[in-house]
Amino acid sequence: MLLAVGIGNTSIKLGLFDGDKLHADWHIATDMQRLPDEYIVTLDSLLRQASVSPHDISDAAMWCTVPALIHTFGDVIRKYLKFEPFIVAAGIKTGVRIRMDNPREVGADRIVNAVAAHALYKDNVIIVDMGTATTFDTVSCDGEYLGGAIAPGIMMAAEALFTRPAQLYRVQLSAPQKAIGSNTIAAMQSGIIFGYTSLVEGMVARIKRELAGNAIVVATGGYSSLILGETKVIDAVNPDLSLIGLKMLYQLNKN
């Protein structure tokens, strides 16, 4: 089995691949204060729940957007699984051509998403990843990573709204019945949910115009479910895109 680890700013995705099948997956909170031994306890508990022994895991792969945790999780894997992990970093083979001004600026999370999307969808692809940030990544049908856009994540924006104005408060993040809110709760829900829906629709439309052709729009990320029922521009939803891309990069670089 392959242990795939994706470390983002808000959460850590863990996946166990048995061949090409995702056998189990989990999400845990990103915490830079936790020590390797604390993460080991959590990982051991998750594996036990899935009836998997650490001896069943033959290798591990990792991407990380939190530099402080690269060493921490490297220690976790070395100490618990007894081998060195494969880490997504500059200089590895990706199978896609990165057409950015400075390819080293592209985050590991965006690279794994691009690799998976190109392999899975075989067309121009726009990846909408709604996590800590909301990112839009564009991959051509020829396998070129063209770039994209980065906006504040929906929860980041919501927290700013909840904590800055003195008279506003946290509300459930769900779509109201109409855009014109007749009370404060409905007005905040409209601004957050419909506002981010419009952000996605507007950015997708602009990117498609620049591509001068059609593109498949793939949504991923923990907060994408908040807008899926409010828009028709999303063609596919793949919550495991980054884990799949990580597995593909591992296979490409290990062979």
Residues known to be catalytic: 109
In degrees to the nearest 10, what's the CA dihedral of 175, 176, 179, 180? -150
- The rounded distance, in Å, linking the Cα atoms of 54 and 69 is 21
Which tokens hold the place of 165? Answer: 């104005």
**Angle made by CA atoms 210, 211, 217, in degrees to the nearest 5:** 110
- The rounded distance, in Å, linking the Cα atoms of 197 and 208 is 17
| Per-position DSSP letters for 128-192, written without gaps between them | EEESSEEEEEEE-TTSEEEEEEEEE-HHHHHHHHHHSSTT---------SSSS-SSHHHHHHIII
CB 231 within 8 A of CB 201: yes
